[in-house]
Chains A and B, each alone.
Chain A
Amino acid sequence: MTATLTGRTAPAAPSRGAAPRSRPRRRVAPYLFVLPALLLFAAFKIYPIGRSFVISLHKTVGGTERFVGVDNYTRLLGDPLFWTALKNTSVILAVQVPLMLALATGLAVALNSTLLRGRAVFRLGFFLPMVTGLVAYGILFSVLLSKDYGLLNWLLDLFGADPVPWLTDPLWAKASLGLALTWHYTGYNAVILLARLQAVPAELYDAAAVDGAGAWTSFRHVTLPGLRPALLLTTVLSTIGTLQVFDEPYVLTGGGPDNATLTIGVYLYQNAFKYFDFGYASAIAYALAVLIGILGMIQFRLLGEKP
């Protein structure tokens, strides 16, 4: 996506003989078109970002704000709960995101295959979870995964398996969170990959077949390179989304059991709107922003430019 943002930096074209017609009205017009967006953006995005930094240097004591410098940031470094949240978020990032993207890639390839009958139905079906709001499916999963009475454990029981403490065991709760995230976003990522896949010229596959390439070889040498830009996009988007993840753990597990699903997003929310420690919450937000920036850059380096 970033390529598109910068790709259009075309220098102002020569005026194509339109000079006599460029009345003052036309010089003002573009600014009027973009003005509402810019004003709203300045008021509700840029100003709050600046103010958030100022807040992060303060501590609210008895309703008044007191300047404390970088105290909130040093507190952050020594806060075991913050590190727990960071660790949990990293685990989801390291395990769930690669698994989901591999699944989405397989799904996109399958959906693109001429061997598949009824492709339209399949494409639709897998994209549908994306339409379901985070709260709605969080609630739905919390019922499906209930230990004693949930549908999933009942199904497991049919096959003679023991019930799984999906939401009450620290490890399983993480797995459940991953399951819910995967259910929600796999189809979405598959659609992005699919769109890209359709732009890979069929001749490349034909050429590979002529050279005697099997299915795996042509996947490795034609499909994957073709998917590279879309894989970068889905990886970066999933990383940003995962680092901010809030709704699912908030609804599904409330961050528990024993903080096993406490994410940075949930911890930030708790500090701001449960303990009303706005200064500390803002420091967490800035730490998160820095983290997202660093990871985004690393991913662009690794996946972006061909060596």
Chain B
Amino acid sequence: MTAARHRGRSILLTSGLAIALAAFALPFYWLVVAATHSSSEIFDSPPPLLPGGHLAANLRTLQDTAQFGRVVLNSLLIAVIYTLCAGAVCALAGYGFAKYRFRGREALFGLLMLGLVIPAQVTLVPLFQMMAELRWLNTYQAVIMPNLALPFGIFLMRQSMAALPDELLDSGRIDGCGELRLFWKVVLPPMKPALAALAIFLFLYQWNDFVWPLIVLRDSASYTIPVALASLQGLDDTDYGAILAGTAAAAIPMALVFLALQRQFVSGLLAGAVKE
């Protein structure tokens, strides 16, 4: 291929993909624009294409109609507590399965992995009844507890922990380290990148989760952001300026965090996902 033809193809491919990316990014751009306009402005013809000055008013409406501050706090607390607890459960189990040989290991791991293929819907009704019997409806633990032993997280952790050299563990043991201290002092530090990827995944998963919170959070004071937004959308007199401001508040911080950490995240996640 001549240099000129090579460059021509390069420009063609890059600009073609740029157009595709623009189509993919358009909804994001428009979300930012719409969040700063009033409901009537959003549906003007022509629609607004640049940000306006209505963001503060939209957030105020959101606060008045949906206690949005409280809702954001619920979402944040639930996602943080979930990430810490589920991260601990998955890391412990992943380590146990990756670095010890014990009776029943394969069978127990296989059992946990069944959770990947069984549709979540099968457990919705009985789980709801359990939460009602425990009197946990409208509580954080009702949202958090059922998904702590997340099969995908355990799978991911086992993959990463398996890469840890056995010599490292043995030398720790020779130095008289107990098994739990070994986990804390020797295993976890080199696992930081994998743990970061797991944490991002868990946080995103909980932050965006909808069906389960929708079912167990029946009182609007306990809503998470997705549940609150969906409930607002159902109203007869829907204020789309306010709803889209809330949508932006839910999506944009996540997108920014993800942008900052994506290299780690994608490589950490894929290390476990696409091996043969």
Contacts and interface: CB of A to CB of B under 8 A. Distances in A.
Given A5-B110, A136-B250, A142-B233, A129 B125 contact: no
A240 B119 contact: yes
Contacts of A230: 274
A207 B204 CA distance: 43
A133 B207 contact: yes
Contacts, number: 278
Given A140-B247, A149-B43, A37 B262 contact: no
Contacts of A30: 96, 100-102, 105
A49 B122 contact: yes
Contacts of A288: 119, 121-122
B122 A126 contact: no
Contacts of B102: 27, 30-31
Interface in B112-139: 112-113, 115-130
B9 interface: yes
A210 interface: no
Interface string B43-58: 1111100000000000
By size class, the interface of chain B is: 35 or more
Contacts of A186: 24
Contact of B115 (A45, A149, A191, A282): A45
A66 B98 CA distance: 46
Interface stretch (A74-82, A86-94, A165-173, A242-250): A242-250
Contacts of A111: 17
Interface of B is mostly: helix
Contact of A136 (B42, B117, B251): B251
Among A47, A48, A244, chain B packs the most CB atoms within 10 A around the CB of: A48
By size class, the interface of chain A is 35 or more
B165 interface: no
B145 interface: yes
Nearest to A114: B10
Interface centre among B20, B42, B180, B250 (most CB of A within 10 A): B20
A116 interface: yes
Contact of A52 (B108, B126, B215): B126
Contacts of B227: 135
Given A30-B105, A285-B122, A288-B122, A131 B255 contact: yes
A278 B125 contact: yes
Interface in A29-56: 29-34, 36-38, 40-41, 44-49, 51-52, 55
Nearest to A40: B149
A149 to B, nearest CB: 4
A296 B13 contact: no
Interface string B234-276: 0000001001100100110011001100100010001001111
A21 to B, nearest CB: 7
6 contacts: A47-B126, A116-B17, A118-B14, A129-B27, A140-B30, A251-B233
Given A48-B127, A251-B233, 4 more contacts: A45-B115, A124-B259, A135-B208, A154-B47
